[in-house]
Structure 1
Amino acid sequence: MTDLEELKQRVQKLQSRAATAKTQLHDLAECLPNYWTEIVAVAEKTFDAFAQLDAAKRELAASENSR
């Protein structure tokens, strides 16, 4: 598998992880005020997932542009 293919696969996995985190944050928001103590942890997890996804997408774009 080439580096580009591996990077595309990584982006797909991170997209899935980010979507799951977004759903968890949304579900938590719907349950408020219950579970309000979990907001920070779930929000940080969601933020991290999207930050990793953004970095991987930028890396993929740079890799594709250098071809």
Structure 2
Amino acid sequence: MTNDDVLLVPVTAVSKKGTDNYVWLYDDETQKIKQVRVKLGNADAKQQKIASGLKEVQKSYYQG
């Protein structure tokens, strides 16, 4: 989901390991889910801006 050319994901889609942040992505080629490191922007109670690490065409996978 984008808003004014900013990539947004639900805050529940972001997980943290140490100081790094990740989202889970579905890979159509391998048909598997993988974890991808992202840099975060601002967030509100429901949505998290992704500053880098994801492209709009990629699908995040989360349980929320």
TM-score range, shorter chain: under 0.3
The structure with the greater share of residues assigned to helix is 1
Q: What TM-score does the superposition give when structure 1 sets the normalisation length?
A: 0.20
Larger radius of gyration: 1
Q: What TM-score does the superposition give when structure 2 sets the normalisation length?
A: 0.20
